[in-house]
Amino acid sequence: MTARVEVFVQLKDGMLDPQGKTLEHALEALGYSGVENVRVGKWITFAVEGGCREEIAGRVDEMCRRLLANTVIERFTYKLLEDGE
Amino acid sequence: MTARVEVFVQLKDGMLDPQGKTLEHALEALGYSGVENVRVGKWITFAVEGGCREEIAGRVDEMCRRLLANTVIERFTYKLLEDGE
């Protein structure tokens, strides 16, 4: 099967997010008040071929831990969609 | 009301994504074959206070066009969740 994968990576709660802070200040400077706790993460999408759903999920999990996220400071989640979904 | 907002920003189809290509090659080098079309986008989350859902949605759309995305080369989507959802 071929699956479309979406990976979401974000700094763990409590980790300072300077990019988010910068956006927060920029939004305020543009006149958007009431915006809080801006966090900037990564949204990584790709297609992957493999056996069954479980096998692909295991591989994606491993890919996240080894390369896509730095699990010391970041947390990740992912979604698997079968092609056609 | 207070809403939690998730904004997804990605390069438009057809735009070269060097960061995605780099990850694709790195994954292959690590032994993960069958991975294709890696795209790296931004996942921006924040809380925003405002009147009704429609008013907030309009404001978020404007924030995306003015600051969070570069609509010449990027497309964006967003999700609004009421606090507690």
Distance in angstroms (rounded) separating the CA atoms of residues A59 and B35: 11
CA atoms within 13 A on the CB side of B67: 18
> Does the pLDDT of residue A76 top 70, yes or no?
yes
Q: Tell me the mean pLDDT in the region B28-32.
A: 97
Q: What pLDDT score does B85 carry?
A: 57
For chain A, say whether B75 makes contact (Cβ under 8 Å). no
Number of domains in chain A: 1
* Chain-centroid distance, C-alpha A7: 5
User: How many percent of chain A have pLDDT more than 70?
Assistant: 96
Beta bridge partners of A43: A8, B41
| Domain residue limits at B68 | 2-82
State the CATH number of the domain containing residue B53: 3.30.1280.10
Give the residue from chain A lying closest to B58, CA to CA.
A32
Distance in angstroms (rounded) separating the CA atoms of residues B34 and B4: 35
Inter-chain CB proximity B63 and A36 less than 8 Å: no
> Does the pLDDT of residue A85 top 60, yes or no?
no
pLDDT one-digit tens code per residue, A36-56: 999 999 999 999 998 899 999
- Per the prediction, chain A carries an average pLDDT of 95
CA distances from A23 to A9, A38, B17, B77 (A): 18, 7, 23, 17
Taking residue B65's Cβ as centre, other Cβ atoms within 10 Å add up to 12
A38: closest CA of chain B, how far (Å): 4
For residues B36 and A15, the answer to whether their CB atoms sit within 8 Å is no
